Amino acid sequence: MADAPSGADVVNNGALLTHEDKIIAVGSAEEILMHPSLTNASMLDRIDCKNQLLLPGFIDCHTHLVYAGDRSREFEQRLEGVSYEEIARLGGGIRSTVTDTRHSAQEDLVRGAVSRAKRMCSEGVTTIEVKGGYGLTLECEQKMLRVARSLETVLPVSVHTTFLGAHAVPEEFSGRSDGYIDLVCSVMLPEIAKEGLADSVDAFCENIAFSEPQVRRVFEKAHALGLPVRLHADQLSNSQGARLAAEFSALSADHLEYTDEAGVRALKQAGTVAVLLPGAFYFLKEQQRPPVNLFRKHQVPMALATDCNPGSSPVESLLLILNMGCVLFGLTPREAVAGITVHAAKALGYSDRGVLASGKRADFSVFEVESLAQLCYPVGTREPSMVIQAGNLVSKNPKP
Ligand code: NIG
Ligand code: FE
């Protein structure tokens, strides 16, 4: 194999040895061929990846993959000058996807989610985080999270599910958002946790969504139930979301366009990953960029994700996001690739993937490129020549 990046370091003329679903050694081709476990070299299933780049399986650590309907009418409204916040205040936005998702049968939600996830997998994604948050009733949130979990049974991908009950105030609770938070904390969260439907809990802290005290209640309940938290923070205004996420040792704080230096320091202290979402930044024509230089200065790990959703980021390509992270946010190719591998794994609380190292999951893909810059450079998709998930070859595209 030409290059075997461990984390974001590129190894030339590298090789990698796997057994079942694990990597057992990574090193130079010479070292690997001398590896003690290779007593009978003829037993080897060897794949030559000469002049190609071998990368850890990509991790999309922030998606709203399960939903029904589309929001193209709102897209037109925004082109006519109506803002994302105004549309939400008028009862559209997240609420309109909630209406469609509530009316959608589980099989139809599965169909939509599978087709989106399939496209992600074809680019080398081997782990996806999937949020609920378009149901906003116990039954509909259960339906969404069951659909999310089912993806693992039909596609070569691992799924991390996130309960996002505090995404928007549902119509039936208009003017009674505290009452809705009561329902989230006393009924929805305990039931979702009991059924093991969620691996983490998210909330949307913003003036069009939930206040700091309301999010605090959700997070306290999540912790009481043993679930880690993450937060949609400081996306449209500085609502002190980063600080709040850090206070609860959140796995990640996401968006962060309006986060100030005190918020960045808090993230650093808490070990919280900053998840940057250039798809939403682009699609909402946001002018304020997340404070990338402050994340660098304070050494806060930065992840990148699609935020795939029908309202603010109808994007299914993590490779496009890699390019957007570089062009829109000024990340280096190395930072961008770390953002969809090692740092994305940390954002999901996983230490068993995201790097090519002995003992990690055998999730990786092979691209016909010579450098990380070449991977990040095209605007749009680029198919890997091979994807391996949990040690199994799941796709192979013949060289042209
Ligand atoms: O990450 N910010 C809140 N949630 C989504 C948008 C959801 C929607 O508009 O449907 C986001 O941007
Ligand atoms: Fe989101």
pLDDT at residue number 4: 46
pLDDT, mean of residues 47-53: 88
Contact 161 CB / ligand 1 (< 6 Å)? no
How high is the mean pLDDT of the chain?
94
Greater confidence (46 vs 99) lies with 99
Contact 266 CB / ligand 1 (< 6 Å)? no
Atom of ligand 1 at shortest range from CA of 206? 2
| Burial group, residue 287, by CB count within 10 angstroms (0-12, 13-18, 19+) | exposed
Question: Does position 264 have pLDDT exceeding 70, yes or no?
Answer: yes
pLDDT at residue number 1: 45
Average the pLDDT over each of 36-50, 195-209, 243-257, 259-273 and give the range with the smallest value: 36-50
Closest-CA residue, ligand 1 atom 5, reads 312
Burial 337-353 (b: 16+ CB within 10 A, else e): bbbbbbbbbbbbebeeb
Output the 3-class SS for 79-104: HCCCCHHHHHHCCCCHHHHHHHHHCC
Contact 162 CB / ligand 1 (< 6 Å)? no
Closest-CA residue, ligand 1 atom 12, reads 312
Top CATH class of 58-347 equals alpha beta
Q: What are phi and psi of 287, to 5 degrees?
A: -100, -25
pLDDT, mean of residues 85-101: 95
pLDDT band at 42 (very low <50, low <70, confident <90, very high): low
Q: How far is CA 311 from the centre of its chain?
A: 16
User: How many angstroms is it from 187 CA to the middle of ligand 1?
Assistant: 24
pLDDT at residue number 148: 98
Distances (CA, A) of 332 to 137, 276, 290, 328, 337: 42, 14, 15, 11, 9
pLDDT at residue number 399: 58
Contact 5 CB / ligand 1 (< 6 Å)? no
Closest-CA residue, ligand 1 atom 11, reads 312
How does pLDDT run across 1-14, given as a tens digit for each residue?
A: 444 444 457 788 88
Domain ranges across the chain: 4-56+354-396, 58-347
Residue 236 to residue 238: CA distance in whole angstroms: 7
Closest ligand to 133 CA? 1
Q: How far is CA 30 from the centre of its chain?
A: 36
* Residue where the block lists tokens 């082109």: 79
Average the pLDDT over each of 29-38, 49-58, 147-156, 172-181 and give the range with the smallest value: 29-38
Contact 316 CB / ligand 1 (< 6 Å)? no
pLDDT at residue number 307: 98
Question: Does position 138 have pLDDT exceeding 60, yes or no?
Answer: yes
pLDDT at residue number 40: 63
Mutational test site, ligand 1, from 74, 85, 86, 232, max ligand atoms within 8 Å of CB: 232
Name residue 352's amino acid.
D
What is the edge-to-edge ordering of all strands in the sheet holding 302-304?
58-60, 125-131, 158-166, 200-205, 230-233, 252-255, 273-276, 302-304
pLDDT at residue number 113: 98
pLDDT at residue number 380: 80
pLDDT, mean of residues 45-49: 83
Top CATH class of 4-56+354-396 equals mainly beta
Cβ neighbours of residue 217 closer than 8 Å, sequence gap 6 or more: 181, 185
pLDDT, mean of residues 114-128: 97
pLDDT, mean of residues 49-53: 89
Average the pLDDT over each of 137-151, 189-203, 384-398 and give the range with the smallest value: 384-398
pLDDT band at 314 (very low <50, low <70, confident <90, very high): very high
Question: Does position 100 have pLDDT exceeding 80, yes or no?
Answer: yes
* Residue where the block lists tokens 């003690």: 36
Mutational test site, ligand 1, from 257, 277, 312, max ligand atoms within 8 Å of CB: 312
Contact 204 CB / ligand 1 (< 6 Å)? yes
pLDDT cut 70: percent of the chain above it: 95
Closest ligand to 280 CA? 1
Contact 56 CB / ligand 1 (< 6 Å)? no
CB atoms within 10 A of CB 391: 15
pLDDT at residue number 50: 87
Atom of ligand 1 at shortest range from CA of 88? 9
Contacts 24+ apart (CB under 8 A), 7-14: 7/338, 7/341, 7/342, 7/354, 7/355, 8/334, 8/335, 8/337, 8/338, 8/341, 8/342, 8/372, 10/53, 10/371, 10/372, 14/54
Average the pLDDT over each of 17-31, 238-252, 264-278, 312-326 and give the range with the smallest value: 17-31
Contact 281 CB / ligand 1 (< 6 Å)? no
Mutational test site, ligand 1, from 97, 204, 205, 206, max ligand atoms within 8 Å of CB: 204
pLDDT at residue number 48: 86
pLDDT, mean of residues 84-92: 92
pLDDT band at 345 (very low <50, low <70, confident <90, very high): very high
User: How many angstroms is it from 36 CA to the middle of ligand 1?
Assistant: 51
C-beta of residue 20 within 8 angstroms of C-beta of residue 30: no
Distances (CA, A) of 219 to 166, 203, 204, 225, 335: 10, 9, 12, 10, 30
pLDDT band at 43 (very low <50, low <70, confident <90, very high): low
Question: Does position 214 have pLDDT exceeding 50, yes or no?
Answer: yes
| Burial group, residue 84, by CB count within 10 angstroms (0-12, 13-18, 19+) | buried
CB atoms within 10 A of CB 231: 29
